[in-house]
Amino acid sequence: MESKPDTKEAMRNLIKDIRSGIPFDTPVAEMCNGPCTGCSKKLMDYLDMELEEKETLLATGHNPTLGEINRLKKTAIKIHGVLSQNGLVKTSNSPR
């Protein structure tokens, strides 16, 4: 029987999934080309800052709560939805 990951490992896994599912390296010209719902650049910048903050906390030994993990996941899913509406990601790449 497999053991469940602790919250540190769960947060690391979530961060890895988000980084692989969100195209943070998309050029601004591609992000801001045509009509959009919400500002993709600002949303990706915000999410990147959130991820960096969580990574820093993990590096200093912080043990995240399930609530912190859930909030980050919800934020990533909402931002992914906007990016999907703006044609920057495919719906199937949503962070789990």
- Tokens linked to 86: 């703006």
Q: What is the pTM of this model?
A: 0.84
Closest CA to 48 of 17, 25, 24: 24
Q: What does the DSSP 8-state code read for residue 41?
A: H
pLDDT in tens, 41-96: 899 999 999 999 999 999 999 999 999 999 999 999 999 999 998 888 876 544 55
Closest CA to 47 of 78, 10, 85, 69: 78
